[in-house]
Structure 1
Amino acid sequence: MTDPTLLTPHVLPALAARGITVPGYLRTSSPGVVHLGLGAFHRAHQALVFDTLLQRGDARWGVLGVAMRSTQLADTLAAQDGLYAVQIASHAGVHWQVGGALWHTCVAAREPGQVVEALAAPTTRWVTLTVTEKGYGPALASLLVQGLAARHSAGLPGLTIASCDNLSHNGRKLQALCADTAEAESPALAQWIRSACAFPNSMVDRIVPAATDKRLAAATQALGVADHAALGTEAFWEWVIERRFVDPSDGEVLAAAGVTVVDDIAPFEEAKLRMLNGSHTAMACIGAVAGLPVISDCIAQPAVHHFVHGLMTHEVGPQLSRPDWASYRDALLARFANPELQHSVHQIATDSSQKIPQRWPPSVAGALRAGHTVERLAFAAAAWMRYLRGSDEQGRPYAMNDPMSSTLHALAIAHAGDAAATVQTLGTLPAIWGEALPHNDPWLARVSHWLAQINQHGMLAALELLSTHKV
């Protein structure tokens, strides 16, 4: 029996009467999209783009949302028939929208056969992925290749398979992962994947904090019913995707919904990784150590605001090929300051060892080549090394969610009082910094300098010193 106190399809008319945007389309046909990596970001981003297309009468964009391992969210959404509310906050105010593009859910670890069957279904046209940077491994490749093999055997057309994770050249990397895995099974299958399937590079941008009890309570108040999968996000969103589709007309369809379809996403991808993501990681480390729990608290500190503005203006932006990087910077600073988002610094710091290689070293190397200052990037590196000790400046411990956390924490603790020794261990790891920076003595010296200042004066006081440094 349907729970009358839960967000389900039968309450949508009442929500519409409250002025809440709700799905106005039938959700009974087979999904045309399989999404791998069911989580907050997808539901507040691509799923709402697909919702827009569905509202316009294009029934091909319903989604099967696949959680890779966790069963809780998939089952929670199943109980709500895939419905969930999103609180969208901007300077103009807050409004709620119920997303309806998620038609079914399952869990890859629990129901792999259902995922393979969906990938091979005649109605499936697209696959999208948000599995995080660390998810691009054998398990993902095996799952995709099984589905593609079944599709190939059935004589069906290829799929557009769009990675939406923060990886440079994400489409090409995913194509190589799938084709190389298939090669061991069947060279013919590998060739079909390369030729019949499209793997566009893409860049996605929207700040989506993890759900909290406060957000769920706000949803209940706004909706008048319980929503155990409610989310909050900002009004800004961007999806830039390469013009590379199995069905070329998809480009026009997506563009009509606000997606930017281009021949080369590199300028947008580079700007997002280095400006938004790079600044986020720096603030996450600073905030975690200083005891500032969310990004809006961080950017409200004058020293942090000055630091982030300078980082983007002097050390990152000048290297970028995105023509509007200065206005993008200004938009980012405003977005960071949005108090409604409550974006946890510890959520952002998750998997930092996997994220930093994409976000900081390219900017360091580019600035060094151009003869520009790297003081703020060196401070960011020092802040990360201090963060790895696992406790803030008030002595309160925090958990670090990172595949290298045990190793990195041990190294940080071993030399906690010695900045130079810390940098010689943590600053010379090729897995983090690449091949060149671990041997760049002037760079390591600046990281050591700022870590010593953080050790001696504290995080925010050291930032104040940075602000008076002639850089």
Structure 2
Amino acid sequence: MTADPLDAHPTMAKLTRSTHPAPVFPEKILQFGTGVLLRGLPDYLVQKANNEGRFEGSIVVVKSTDSQTDEFSEQDNLYTVAVRGFQQGQEVTENVIVSAISRVLAAQTQWSEVLKLARNPKLQIIVSNTTEIGLNYVEESIFQNPPQSFPAKLTSFLYERFRSVGGSKAKGLVVIPTELVTDNGLKLRDAVERLAQFNELGKLFTKWLKFHVRFCNSLVDRIVTRPTDDSQKILQQEVGYEDSLLTFTEPYYLWAIEGDDRVRETLSFAGPSSPQIIIDEDINFYKERKLRVLNGTHTLTMPLGYLLGLETVADEMRHPTMSKFIESLMLNEIVPTVPHYDIPGMDKAAVTQFANDVLDRFRNPHLDHLLLKISLQQTAKMQARNVATLQRYYEQTHEVPKLMALGFAAYLLFMKVVREEHGQFFGEIALASGGSLNYPIQDDKAGYFYGDWKTVKERAPATVQTFVQSVLSDKTLWQTDLTTLPGFSDAVAKDLNLLLTKGVVKTLESAVA
């Protein structure tokens, strides 16, 4: 029996401050959340700035999900960020030991320690990444130990800060949520202000919140994951130590933060050597660019890739026909529609550069970005990411975007429900080796399509046309009538009929020929 080469290595020492000594800096940041995105972006960036002497601050992390912090304490709060991928055609390999986290506190059992930090005069910044619903307002007392919701925890912390500094202007804080929610800073501010009112915290606290606590909308863009078991073993062999918190990420990153000079001065870990940290009073350009180019392309191409039998985004980019479709769709139909300004870094060239960066990111063989994961709530994503792009394309060209039409047709085919089981809907694809594969359709509109697809008859183009017109004209799905876009409904119906009769491979090949 042959031994697994991945296991053929001596026992390695665990990553700790005794094996890898690191300086200790004043605690300047409070972070709500221990997830990989925070570890691979804000914490990583603070570490880089500390290494260059530009920030010299540490991070106190609050864990809300449970009281287990052994993962961090066993490694003295150190962990490694492994960066792998391509940038501008060049392969990037980097291992960074992050020592910027000073403590990890469990909210459930150490809330008094969290509140004690509010009295720290050196504290400047609060960062969060809970969940998309984590910013929602929940009516509750902030004097629980601890409060339940994240906004209530934050309100409790800010109130303790206000009381300890006597409402000092100089001791206000900058709060930066990174949750993937539109206007996340404004949403969090609203929840905190409502909790202050519900808990009758007084006019002076409300005034201090308004003038001295800055809530910043922000946009984060970086794929960060936990490595697979095999990748973990390989990476640990490379670095020469055991790291159970090892974090895997791509080279590209962007953190756009809506802020003024005060925010810029406070976030001293941003600067000329970190141009991907953008602090601007309006970050809408960056939000639109990511939503349309990266997210919109994912949504329009995922169904075709999955129906081809591919599993990941990297698989799509290795497929000669699919990769050509993705590049042409992105560069020729989506990029020209993205709003831009006549300002360096926010102009047409910046949109094109971002698109080329995205293609590099899609090609990254080190990331297992599953297509089925991208398919979650596909209908809502199609509306949010691509309807405005469609409309802008028509405004600019007065023509049918042929590749978008095919992407939309493939989405409709992906949403073809073949069976329901205990409230879960399933679609089906034919396998090249014979037989078929059922896949879950994780979409609130799956039941809607289950009913509508029953009206479509095999090899009956008229029924396909009627089905497409019915779906495209439904304003409850798209917040507009897509049949008003000249020729779009006909193009989608034609492509859907080809997908049903000729198959995905031949339809795709003819589209990019």
Indicate the structure (1 or 2) with the bigger Cα radius of gyration: 2
Identify the residue that residue 422 of structure 2 maps to in structure 1. Answer: none
Matches within 5 A, 1:41-440: 41-57=37-53, 61-69=57-65, 75-89=70-84, 90=86, 91-106=90-105, 118=117, 121-138=120-137, 139-154=149-164, 155=166, 157-186=171-200, 188=203, 189-244=205-260, 246=262, 248-250=264-266, 253-258=269-274, 259-320=277-338, 321=340, 322-323=346-347, 324-350=350-376, 352=378, 355-370=381-396, 371=398, 373-388=400-415, 389=417, 390-391=426-427, 393=429, 394=431, 395-398=436-439, 405=443, 407-416=444-453, 418=456, 421=467, 424=470, 428=474, 430=476, 433=478, 435-437=479-481, 440=484
Per-residue CA distance 1:80-122 (angstroms, 9 max, x = gap) = 2222222212333423222222333345577666555556654
Higher strand share: 2
Higher helix share: 1
AA in 2 matched with 1:196: H
Q: TM-score scaled by structure 2? A: 0.75
Per-residue CA distance 1:302-353 (angstroms, 9 max, x = gap) = 3322322233223322232131212221222122112122323234444556
Per-residue CA distance 1:151-199 (angstroms, 9 max, x = gap) = 2233353221113344443333333343344343347344432322112
Q: Structure 2: how far apart are the matches of 1:271 and 1:281? A: 15
1:190–1:110 CA distance, 2 compared to 1 (3 A)? same
Secondary structure at 2:252 match in 1: coil
AA in 1 matched with 2:129: T
Deviation (angstroms), 1:298? 0.7
Secondary structure at 1:150 match in 2: helix
1:266–1:125 CA distance, 2 compared to 1 (3 A)? same
Q: Structure 1: how far apart are the matches of 2:106 and 2:493? A: 45
1:151–1:274 CA distance, 2 compared to 1 (3 A)? same
1:451–1:152 CA distance, 2 compared to 1 (3 A)? farther
1:144–1:285 CA distance, 2 compared to 1 (3 A)? farther
Secondary structure at 1:396 match in 2: strand
Calculate the aligned-residue CA RMSD, in Å. Answer: 3.5
Secondary structure at 2:215 match in 1: coil
1:165–1:87 CA distance, 2 compared to 1 (3 A)? same
Matches within 5 A, 1:29-44: 29=26, 31-44=27-40
Paired residues of 1:385 and 1:426 also in contact (CA < 8 A): no
Runs of 4+ in 1 over 6 A off after TM superposition: none
Q: Structure 1: how far apart are the matches of 2:309 and 2:440? A: 13
Paired residues of 2:314 and 2:369 also in contact (CA < 8 A): yes
Deviation (angstroms), 1:221? 1.3
AA in 2 matched with 1:9: R
Q: Structure 2: how far apart are the matches of 1:108 and 1:425? A: 47
Q: Where does the alignment leave 5 or more consecutive residues of structure 2 unmatched?
A: 1-10, 138-148, 341-345, 418-425, 457-463
Percentage of pairs with the same residue: 21
Deviation (angstroms), 1:50? 0.5
Secondary structure at 1:255 match in 2: coil
Identify the residue that residue 17 of structure 1 maps to in structure 2. Answer: none
